[in-house]
Amino acid sequence: MSRYRPPEQSKAGQVFDIVVVVVAIFVALWLPLKLGLAGAAKSIDALDAKTWEALGQNPTMASIWEKLGYTPETAHDIIQNRFHYIIDWPTLIIMAAVLIGYFVFLFRASDREYRDVINEKFDDK
């Protein structure tokens, strides 16, 4: 019984694979930011009275803000900039479909490769 030797990939193929992976990672990280699907909150919870107490800051916190050069008016937008977790159902469903499709493809391709190796190794028997 001969030892299995997997097919070898050319250097050009390896470079192509690396470029595809790097581009895919870049697009996966950059595109949601560009489309406004990720990042900082979209709205600021505005308060009428801009005081440290209204912003929920205790005296220790207020003193630290002041040491950093902030006043209640200038710190308002930073403190009140909160993340609003809202589920966008169409986007969630599309993402789930893409992930399920990817895993179905992955399992079918792996199964095909596995069967090719088994047939190559044990086809005679």
Domain residue ranges in the chain: 43-86, 88-125
Residue spans of alpha helices (H) in the chain: 11-34, 59-67, 72-79, 89-122
pLDDT tens digits, residue range 14-27?
Answer: 999 999 999 999 99
In this structure, what is the dihedral angle of CA atoms 91, 92, 93, 95, given to the nearest 10 degrees?
Answer: 80
CA distance 38 to 48: 28
- Give long-range contacts, CB 8 A cutoff, 24+ apart: 3-12: 4/117, 4/120, 4/121
pLDDT tens digits, residue range 21-75?
Answer: 999 999 999 988 888 777 655 677 778 888 999 999 999 999 999 999 999 999 9
